[in-house]
Amino acid sequence: MAHTSAREFENFAAFYPYYLSEHQNRTCRRLHFAGSTVALLCLVALVVTGNWWWLLAAMVAGYAFAWVGHFGFEKNRPATFRHPVYSLMGDWVMYADIWRGRIPF
């Protein structure tokens, strides 16, 4: 899909199909899923320990796995760079959709 500017998306519902089109590679999706799972585990560690470094670990894990997926397998630039808020929302909606079986894992 061609580059799309932020003003072309009126809302998240309009953005999400574009987001999914940027995640067609199965390995990329699996890396997103792994990164999101590790990020959630880091957040649990934050709650259990009260150590705020776990928040940094959660962010690093989430983005590192996703960016390896995009640069190494999907061969595109992560949507985070152009649409940071919608992209973060898309990560979690896609994560939930994978759990629900709506998106192939």
Q: In this predicted model, what pLDDT tens digit does every residue of 65-103 receive, in sequence order?
A: 999 999 999 999 999 999 999 999 999 999 999 999 999
**Residue 6 pLDDT > 50:** no
Of the candidates 26, 18, 24, the one whose C-alpha atom is nearest the C-alpha of residue 79 is 18
Mean pLDDT along residues 36-65: 98
pLDDT band, residue 27 (cuts 50/70/90): very high
Q: Domain range spanning residue 34?
A: 15-99
Judge contact between 73 and 31, C-beta under 8 A: yes
Domain-located, residue 2: no
- Calculate the average pLDDT of the chain: 93
Q: Give percent above pLDDT 90 in the chain.
A: 90
Residues in the chain: 105
Query: Amino acid identity, residue 99?
Result: W
Give the 3-state secondary structure of residue 57: helix
